[in-house]
Amino acid sequence: MVYLQLKRKRMAKKIKPESDISTEEKIKEAARIVFMKKGFSATRTRDIAEEAGINLALLNYYFRSKEKLFELVMMEKFQAFFGVIFPILNDANSTLEQKVELIADRYITLLTETPDLPIFILSEIRTNADRMIENVRLDKILGESQFVKQLHARRPDMHPVQLIMSILGLVVFPFIMRPILVQSKSTDDKMFNAMMNERKAWIPKWFNSILNAR
Amino acid sequence: MVYLQLKRKRMAKKIKPESDISTEEKIKEAARIVFMKKGFSATRTRDIAEEAGINLALLNYYFRSKEKLFELVMMEKFQAFFGVIFPILNDANSTLEQKVELIADRYITLLTETPDLPIFILSEIRTNADRMIENVRLDKILGESQFVKQLHARRPDMHPVQLIMSILGLVVFPFIMRPILVQSKSTDDKMFNAMMNERKAWIPKWFNSILNAR
DNA sequence: TAATTTTTTAAACATTTGATTAAAATATCC
DNA sequence: GGATATTTTAATCAAATGTTTAAAAAATTA
């Protein structure tokens, strides 16, 4: 009975979208915040309820279980993380250099807004690969991409994955290091963001050097 | 009473080191394995007991609590992770290029043996900064290091942290990506390790290009 | 070998935690 | 405005989980 209401509610949305922020959305937003910060296992449903300012039971009323709610958030974040890069990789009209510029720019912009995104996704994949979206056929997506073809044309002597790891390392790794840097007072938020902004310009240059290195 | 035995045991070791593998060491080793794989929160003391093949109560008998046992493991892993790099950074007799070669070589060797190390450390720092070793004065250690001085001498126009993030990104990030690559069949273990081995030679070259990029 | 100490075990405890229930409050519909 | 449906609440449940206990087993000592 209860869970039928989910469907009903969802259908109702099309007709009459909730005026202001709905309970459902409050919970989802709280889940985003808490799950991202603590990961699945360290998060208690009560944390989410408190963050959302709602009664604990409403979490199960709207989302059935902690697991289901997590899957929802993970799906979203996964989409955000990979959604940025896939379209760029497949663009047939841009050069290799342009793709790298775009990746650096878009990713750094995204991650400056949500710096916890990489650690969240990467550590959840490690902790519980089963709970993860199984069929990211990264091999297919990458293998058939324009980007890989262009990389291979430029450097047939190197495995494209080598170069992809390098560019992602340059772009993403700083955000993974960030907690250490900030905690150890090596940087503060403002300085870190400024550096990341600088990297938007540096990384394409660096990657170009890497492409030409012998 | 019970915990005094800890001391007694430890003292006894000096005189008569346990012949074969002691219960204490069995638990510690199991804790290393399980904590590394699942992180603190997702690990149950029962998991560790099972992995060690010992009675659950022995965990508390020897290590007082899950938390204490975790701290022990974390300290070790932290040491392993940072212990590799710090001596290299401070060597007054090696050039910048030599330091980079050493870092790439030593880190890739270490991480090939324990590929989960970076995700473990970095995600635990995120999840629970309090439970972490607070006083890694990374700012002091880095700031006063030979490496930073050499970086600054070579490229006074760039913040040394920019360059450190880059080299660590090139070295460490592949190991953080590894679960995704392996799960998505983009690589297998053997191929991944082969690529990491190649990187020992490539990264110094790449970093040199980065140092010269304008 | 008897006494004592140390280690191990099975059982239980106290809390935490994800989830459910039944009733109350609120909104919607005719 | 009254009936019905939906949402919210407080209380509770059952299972999981970190930890403790008390007794048994094993090792050590004298």
User: Which tens digit of pLDDT belongs to each residue from A66-115?
Assistant: 999 999 999 999 999 989 999 999 999 999 999 999 999 999 999 999 99
Cβ of B166 within 8 Å of Cβ of A125? The answer is: no
C-alpha span between B130 and B122 (Å, rounded): 13
Q: Which pLDDT band, with edges at 50, 70 and 90, does B25 fall under?
A: very high
Backbone φ and ψ of A129, nearest 5°: -60, -30
From chain B, the residues in CB contact with A197 under 8 A are: none
Q: Which pLDDT band, with edges at 50, 70 and 90, does B10 fall under?
A: very low
User: Which tens digit of pLDDT belongs to each residue from A191-206?
Assistant: 999 999 999 999 999 9
Q: How far from B163 is each of A196, A202, B3, B137, B207, CA to CA, in Å? A: 12, 11, 48, 19, 9
Average pLDDT over residues A42-62: 97
Q: Does the beta carbon of A33 lie under 8 angstroms from any beta carbon of chain B?
A: no
Q: Which pLDDT band, with edges at 50, 70 and 90, does A133 fall under?
A: low
For chain B, the 3-state helix, strand and coil shares in percent, each to the nearest 5, are: 80, 0, 20
pLDDT beyond 60 at B201 = yes
Report chain D positions within 7 A of protein CB atoms: 5-11, 16-22
B141 burial type by CB count under 10 A (0-12 exposed, 13-18 middle, 19+ buried): middle
Q: Which pLDDT band, with edges at 50, 70 and 90, does B4 fall under?
A: very low
In order, the DSSP letters of A43-72 are --HHHHHHHHTS-HHHHHHHHSSHHHHHHH
- Chain centroid to Cα A163, Å, comes to 20
The predicted pLDDT at position B13 comes to 30
The predicted pLDDT at position B125 comes to 87
For A196, nearest residue in chain B (alpha carbons): B162
User: Number of helices and strands (H, E) in chain A?
Assistant: 12, 0
User: How many Å from the CA of B41 to C1' of C20?
Assistant: 25
C-alpha span between B204 and B111 (Å, rounded): 17
B136 burial type by CB count under 10 A (0-12 exposed, 13-18 middle, 19+ buried): middle
Does the domain formed by A15-73 have CATH 1.10.10.60? Answer: yes
Average pLDDT of chain B, as a whole number: 88
Average pLDDT over residues A45-59: 97
The phi-psi region of residue A50 (left if phi > 0; otherwise alpha if psi is between -120 and 50; otherwise beta) is alpha
Q: Does the beta carbon of B197 lie under 8 angstroms from any beta carbon of chain A?
A: no
* Nearest C-alpha neighbor of A133 from the set A118, A145, A142, A121: A121
Q: Which pLDDT band, with edges at 50, 70 and 90, does A132 fall under?
A: low
The predicted pLDDT at position B96 comes to 96
C-alpha span between A212 and A37 (Å, rounded): 39
Q: Does the beta carbon of A119 lie under 8 angstroms from any beta carbon of chain B?
A: yes
Domain boundaries, chain B: 2-73, 84-212
Of B185, B199, B206, the CB nearest to A213: B206
Backbone φ and ψ of A64, nearest 5°: 75, -50
Q: Which pLDDT band, with edges at 50, 70 and 90, does B197 fall under?
A: very high
Domains A15-73 and A84-212 share a fold: no
Of A33-37, A86-90, A134-138, B12-16, the poorest mean pLDDT is in B12-16
The predicted pLDDT at position B1 comes to 35
Which nucleotide is nearest, taking the CA of residue B49 and each C1'? D18
The residue among A21 and B113 whose pLDDT is bigger is: B113
User: How many Å from the CA of B24 to C1' of C5?
Assistant: 18
Widest distance between CA atoms in chain B: 67
Domain boundaries B2-73, CATH class: mainly alpha
The predicted pLDDT at position A10 comes to 31
CB under 8 Å to B183, separation ≥6 — which residues?
A125, A129, A132
Task: Please give the share of chain A, as a percent, with pLDDT higher than 70.
Answer: 86
C-alpha span between B57 and B31 (Å, rounded): 14
For B78, nearest residue in chain A (alpha carbons): A180
Q: If you measure CA to C1', which residue is closest to nucleotide C19?
A: A60
Neighbouring C-beta atoms of residue B27, cutoff 10 Å: 23
CB pairs under 8 A between A and B: 159
Say if residues A139 and B185 touch (Cβ distance below 8 Å): yes
Q: State the DSSP code for A16.
A: S
For B199, nearest residue in chain A (alpha carbons): A162
* Nearest C-alpha neighbor of B124 from the set B132, B134, B116: B132
For chain A, the 3-state helix, strand and coil shares in percent, each to the nearest 5, are: 75, 0, 25
Which residues of A, range 123-162, sit inside 8 Å of B by Cβ? Answer: 123, 125-129, 132, 136-139, 142, 159, 161-162
CB under 8 Å to A83, separation ≥6 — which residues?
none
C-alpha span between B58 and A145 (Å, rounded): 54
The predicted pLDDT at position A139 comes to 82
Q: Which fold has domain B84-212?
A: Tetracycline Repressor; domain 2 (1.10.357)
Which nucleotide is nearest, taking the CA of residue B8 and each C1'? C6
Sign of the C-alpha dihedral, residues A24, A29, A34, A40?
Answer: positive
User: How many Å from the CA of B14 to C1' of C15?
Assistant: 40
pLDDT beyond 90 at A140 = no
CB proximity B44–strand D (7 Å threshold): yes
Average pLDDT of chain A, as a whole number: 88
Q: Which pLDDT band, with edges at 50, 70 and 90, does B81 fall under?
A: very high
Q: How far is B23 from chain A (nearest CA, A)?
A: 27
Which nucleotide is nearest, taking the CA of residue A9 and each C1'? D6
The residue among B126 and B42 whose pLDDT is bigger is: B42
Tokens of B123: 């995600």
Q: How far from A39 is each of A42, A130, B164, CA to CA, in Å? A: 6, 15, 27
Report chain C positions within 7 A of protein CB atoms: 6-12, 16-22
Q: State the DSSP code for B131.
A: G
Cβ of A183 within 8 Å of Cβ of B125? The answer is: yes
pLDDT beyond 70 at B14 = no
Tokens of B200: 């020992």
User: How many Å from the CA of B57 to C1' of D18?
Assistant: 10
The predicted pLDDT at position B3 comes to 40
The predicted pLDDT at position A134 comes to 62
Average pLDDT over residues B38-67: 97
The residue among B201 and B138 whose pLDDT is bigger is: B201
The predicted pLDDT at position B5 comes to 39
CB under 8 Å to B158, separation ≥6 — which residues?
B151
Q: State the DSSP code for B137.
A: -
User: Which tens digit of pLDDT belongs to each residue from B100-143?
Assistant: 999 999 999 999 999 999 999 999 988 766 556 565 678 888 88
From chain B, the residues in CB contact with A172 under 8 A are: 169, 173
Tokens of B51: 């992995």
The predicted pLDDT at position A182 comes to 87
For B169, nearest residue in chain A (alpha carbons): A169
The count of residues in chain B is 214
User: Which tens digit of pLDDT belongs to each residue from A55-70?
Assistant: 999 999 999 999 999 9
C-alpha span between A67 and A55 (Å, rounded): 18
- Chain centroid to Cα A22, Å, comes to 25
From chain A, the residues in CB contact with B205 under 8 A are: 213-214
Tokens of A114: 């949500």
Average pLDDT over residues B22-32: 96
For A193, nearest residue in chain B (alpha carbons): B162
